[in-house]
Amino acid sequence: MVTYVLTPEIPSFYKENHYDVVFFGTSQSYCSFDPLVFDEYNLKTYNRGRQQQTMNYTYYYIKDALDACDIDVIVLEVFGMFYEADDDGFISEGVRDSTLNDMRMSGTKIEAIRDCVPKEMQIGYLFPLDKYHSRWEELEYVSVNDLTQNIMNHYYDESDRGYMRWTEAQMCVDDYWSIAFSEVRRSVYDENMKYLNNIYELCQKKGVELVLVKAPLPCYDRVIEETNTVSDWAKKHNVEFINYMRLQDVLELNFYTDSLDGGTHLNENGAGKVSKHLAAYLKEKYFE
C-alpha cells in the first residue's frame, strides 16, 4: 500500500471501459486532437499523446490501452516515426517518465520497462518505491480520511482528456503549404518501422481500426519526405492515412493565428480545425 501511495497517480482514462477513438503519439497528438470537439460529433475520445514519445513507447502505450478497455479506432499521429537512433527522445529521463508514470502497473508496463529502459535503470521503474521514496517527506495528509481517499481514488482527472489547450499564437514565417506536395522519399529509422508493424499487427489481432495522421505542422523537407515513406507503408497495408500537411487549404489554416510556436505545434484555433475535419471524417466512415 505504501508503494501505491507514493507512486504517481494514473489518468482518468483507465476509469472507462470503452472509447470510440483514442489518440496516440508525440506532442503533435496532444496539440492537435481536442476531445471536446469530438464530443460535438458524439464520439467518446481520449488523447494519450505524450511529449517526444518514441515509437517503442507508443507501441506499449497502445497495447496497454487495448488491454484496459475496448477501443473502436486508434488514431496515431506519426511524427514519432521521424526520430532517429541518436535522438534524445530514446534516452531522455523526461520522455521515459512522461510515458511510464502515466501508465498503470501491469504486465504490459513491465514489458515496456524491460524493452525500452536501460537495464541499469529498470529497477527504479519495476519497483517504484525505490524511485519515489523521497516523496514520503512531501506528503501532507490532514487526516486518515484524506489518506484513504488517495488510496481509493488513485486517478487524476484531466478536464481536456489529455489534450493540451494553448491559446497563444506565433506567426509561421515560412510558406509550409507550397512544399508539402514533394514526392521525394527518405528512409525511416528501422526501429520505428518495426514498432509501426507491431502496432499494425496488434490492431489486426484486436479487431481495431488503425488510422495514421500527420498533423499539418511541422512541415519541412525531412518530415515531408519521411511522411511519404510512411504513406507508402500505409497503402501497402491498406491502412488509412491522412496527411494534413497537404490539406492546409482544406482546413483553411491561418499561419498568423493557428500555430502555437511559429510552425511546430498547433494552438487551440488550429487544433479545432483539425479536430472538426477528423471528427466528421471518422464519424462518417466508422460510426454511421
Q: Alpha-carbon distance 103 to 65, whole Å?
A: 9
Cell numbers 509561421 correspond to what residue? 172
Residue count of the chain: 288
The pLDDT of residue 172 is 84
- CATH for the stretch 2-286: 3.40.50.1110
The pLDDT of residue 119 is 93
Closest by CA position to 49, among listed 89, 10, 78: 78
Residue 30's CB: how many other CB atoms inside 10 A?
26
The three-state secondary structure class of 23 is strand
Amino acid at 55: M
> Which residues have C-beta within 8 Å of that of residue 31, sequence separation ≥ 6?
49, 163, 164, 166, 215, 260, 265, 266, 267, 271
The C-alpha cell that represents 9 in the structure block: 497517480
Q: Say how many CA atoms lie within 13 Å of 84 toward its Cβ.
A: 7
Q: Alpha-carbon distance 70 to 285, whole Å?
A: 19
The pLDDT of residue 206 is 97
For the chain (288 residues), the mean pLDDT of every run of 10, in chain order, is 56 96 97 98 97 94 98 98 82 85 94 94 80 47 47 67 94 81 96 98 98 96 97 98 96 93 94 98 96
pTM for the whole thing?
0.90
The pLDDT of residue 288 is 85
Contact call for residues 221 and 82 (beta carbons, < 8 A): no
The pLDDT of residue 89 is 63
The C-alpha cell that represents 144 in the structure block: 486518515
Contact call for residues 226 and 82 (beta carbons, < 8 A): yes
